[in-house]
């Protein structure tokens, strides 16, 4: 009987954690959000939660029916992240996204401004490791071309792209904060993770 009550309590508390809205850690995260509010920063983000891994056989860019897409939890996560940007009054100068539907939908649901473009440098190379170097070099060039004094740029991409560039293995919806120097060099400032 005692074990059953403990399991029921555990399951009830687990349900509360799963159903909780996106939350952000306090002090370290506050400093990262403050950095994003300053010119010269990039929010390099893995798309919100899309159940599964990779894409199905027959994947086609531009045809969402052939892709792994956001689940309802991922849609809620994207909306909550956008709301957090607005709550913290972070000015966003550009929103760029990969051409994959789950990345584009994440950016659209964040509602931080119009999607300026969908550079191929943000497209996933998952399952095609031979493309890693060229894709990462293209992303570095794209980042280096950003004005160092512009308001925050949001880039929605994929785990493989973020990891190849920064060494960080981000969770779905995680943001890696980058700082642009006047010479175009990018520095990783930190990670904004969901609690």
Q: What per-residue string of b and e applies to 153-180 under the rule 16 or more CB within 10 Å gives b?
A: bbbbbbbbbbbbbbebebebbbbbbbbb
Lowest-confidence range among 15-24, 28-37, 96-105? Answer: 15-24
Element at 175 (helix H, strand E): strand 175-180
Q: Which residue has the higher pLDDT, 193 or 49?
A: 49
CATH superfamily of 22-192: Phosphoglycerate mutase-like (3.40.50.1240)
Q: What is the pLDDT of residues 119-132, one digit of tens each?
A: 889 999 888 888 88
Percent with pLDDT over 90 in the chain: 62
pTM above 0.75, yes or no: yes
State the Cα–Cα distance between residues 30 and 190, nearest whole angstrom. Answer: 11
For the chain, domain boundaries: 22-192
The pLDDT of residue 108? 95
**Residue 117, Cα to own-chain centre: how many angstroms?**
16
Nearest to 172 by CA among 87, 57, 77: 77
Average pLDDT of span 152-163: 95
């Amino acid at each position: 009987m005692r074990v059953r009550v403990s399991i029921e309590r555990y399951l009830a508390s687990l349900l509360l954690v799963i159903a909780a809205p996106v939350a952000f850690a306090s002090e370290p995260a506050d400093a990262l959000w403050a950095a994003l509010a300053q010119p010269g920063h990039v929010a390099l983000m893995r798309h919100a939660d899309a159940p599964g891994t990779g894409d199905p056989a027959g994947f086609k860019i531009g045809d969402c029916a052939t892709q792994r897409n956001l689940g309802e939890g991922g849609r809620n996560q994207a909306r909550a992240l956008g709301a957090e940007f607005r709550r913290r009054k972070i000015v966003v100068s550009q929103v760029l996204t990969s051409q994959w539907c789950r990345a584009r939908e994440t950016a659209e649901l964040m509602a931080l401004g119009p999607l300026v473009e969908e550079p191929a440098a943000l497209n996933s190379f998952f399952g095609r490791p031979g493309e890693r170097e060229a894709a990462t070099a293209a992303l570095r060039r794209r980042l280096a071309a950003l004005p160092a004094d512009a308001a925050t740029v949001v880039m929605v991409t994929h785990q493989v792209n973020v990891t190849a560039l920064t060494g960080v293995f981000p969770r779905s919806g995680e943001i890696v904060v980058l700082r642009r120097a006047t010479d175009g060099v990018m520095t990783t400032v930190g990670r904004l993770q969901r609690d």
